[in-house]
């Protein structure tokens, strides 16, 4: 089953990621970076990158720098997402979030440092690769989709409650495409670029990443709804407008499938 394959991949990836992060030297900032990066997770984005790269005959070792890079970009986004000025979450993946342990200011710096180190690590390894051009194009694919036209753009809509109250279904689709779909696109696109896949394959993979991101985010909304139905103290809940405002739960589940 795909879950078993992903679990096995995550175990290997976590060991290699820990080894690389332990090479960093520094004080509290590096400790905060390590804490965030090594906090677990499904490692879905690097897994998708590898799947696309394998379509072109590349291996885990061939694309590990890109896999590590995109996971650090994802991690920085979570660190910043948890900050008091954003979602204000004190817990992430069953333990205290980075800013709750190291302080808000250090949380900001840790997120910034992870993003910068992601690109530093990928570019440093790109010049050693056989396919330097493919590596650079893959890195650019990640950078663009993590930026203002992708993940950050989608997140900007998510925090603007005034805009969201006027959202229709297509607006939510666009927001979810940015928030979540953009990094899935980045993973599959980067794998395609570095492996030198055809234009048709790239187009198909980018479309797949976008659909996967929308479905992933909507499934997350459904999971949150299920938790609410179990009974949540209304005083503890933050106002949240999701795509479920344009779906019934039943039609949303059909749409995800």
pLDDT per residue as tens digits for the range 128-142: 888 899 999 999 999
Residue bearing tokens 């019934």: 248
Which range among 38-47, 119-128, 234-243 shows the weakest confidence by mean pLDDT?
234-243
The C-alpha atoms of residue 47 and residue 37 are separated, in whole angstroms, by 16
pLDDT for res 158:
80
Distances 20 to 14, 41, 48, 193 between C-alpha atoms, Å: 10, 17, 21, 24
Helix orientation angle between 104-126 and 28-37, rounded to the nearest 10 degrees: 70
More confident residue, 160 or 137: 137
The C-alpha atoms of residue 253 and residue 225 are separated, in whole angstroms, by 12
pLDDT for res 241:
66
Q: How many CA atoms, within 13 angstroms, populate the side-chain half-sphere of residue 197?
A: 26
Pairing type for strands 95-96 and 91-92 reads antiparallel
pLDDT band at 240 (very low <50, low <70, confident <90, very high): low
Across residues 216-227, what is the average pLDDT?
A: 86
Across residues 16-22, what is the average pLDDT?
A: 97
Round the CA-based radius of gyration of the chain to a whole number and report it: 18
Q: Are 194 and 228 in contact (CB under 8 A)?
A: no
Q: Domain 2-256 maps to which CATH number in 1.10.600.10, 3.90.650.10, 3.40.50.9100, 1.10.287.3510?
A: 1.10.600.10
Across residues 242-256, what is the average pLDDT?
A: 86
**Beta-sheet strands, E only, within the chain:** 91-92, 95-96
Across residues 74-81, what is the average pLDDT?
A: 97
| Domain map (residue ranges) of the chain | 2-256
pTM here? 0.92
pLDDT band at 167 (very low <50, low <70, confident <90, very high): confident
Residue from 207, 206, 186, 213 nearest 118 by CA: 186
Burial class of residue 242, CB neighbours in 10 A (0-12, 13-18, 19+): buried
Share of the chain above pLDDT 90, in %: 72
The C-alpha atoms of residue 31 and residue 37 are separated, in whole angstroms, by 10
What DSSP element (H or E) covers 229?
A: helix 199-231
pLDDT for res 228:
61
Q: Are 64 and 191 in contact (CB under 8 A)?
A: no
The C-alpha atoms of residue 43 and residue 71 are separated, in whole angstroms, by 7
Which range among 26-40, 53-67, 198-212, 219-233 shows the weakest confidence by mean pLDDT?
219-233
Q: Are 70 and 41 in contact (CB under 8 A)?
A: no
The C-alpha atoms of residue 21 and residue 37 are separated, in whole angstroms, by 8
pLDDT for res 229:
59
pLDDT, one tens digit per residue, over 33-71 is 999 999 989 999 999 999 999 999 999 999 999 999 999
Which range among 75-89, 91-105, 225-239 shows the weakest confidence by mean pLDDT?
225-239
| DSSP-derived secondary structure letter, 177 | I
Share of the chain above pLDDT 70, in %: 94
Six-digit token pair at 75? Answer: 């991690």
């Amino acid at each position: 089953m795909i879950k078993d394959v992903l679990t096995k991949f995550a175990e290997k990836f976590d060991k290699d990621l820990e080894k690389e992060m332990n090479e960093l030297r520094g004080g509290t900032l590096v400790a905060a970076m390590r804490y965030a990066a090594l906090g677990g997770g499904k490692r879905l984005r690097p897994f998708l990158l590898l799947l696309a790269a394998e379509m072109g005959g590349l291996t885990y070792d061939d694309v590990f720098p890109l896999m590590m890079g995109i996971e650090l970009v994802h991690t920085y986004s979570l660190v910043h997402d948890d900050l008091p000025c954003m979602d204000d979450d004190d817990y992430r993946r069953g333990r205290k979030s980075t800013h709750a342990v190291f302080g808000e200011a250090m949380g900001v710096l840790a997120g910034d440092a992870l993003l910068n180190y992601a690109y530093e690590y990928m570019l440093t390894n790109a010049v050693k690769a056989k396919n330097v051009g493919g590596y650079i194009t893959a890195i650019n694919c990640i950078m663009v989709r993590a930026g203002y036209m992708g993940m950050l753009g989608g997140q900007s809509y998510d925090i603007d409650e005034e805009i969201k109250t006027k959202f229709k279904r297509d607006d939510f689709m666009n927001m979810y495409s940015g928030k979540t779909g953009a990094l899935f696109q980045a993973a599959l696109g980067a794998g395609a670029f570095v492996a030198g896949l055809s234009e048709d394959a790239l187009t198909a993979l980018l479309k797949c990443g976008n659909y996967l991101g929308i479905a992933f985010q909507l499934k997350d909304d459904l999971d949150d709804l299920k938790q609410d139905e179990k009974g949540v103290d209304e005083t503890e809940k933050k106002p949240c407008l999701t795509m479920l405002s344009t779906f019934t739960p039943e039609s949303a589940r059909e749409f995800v499938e």
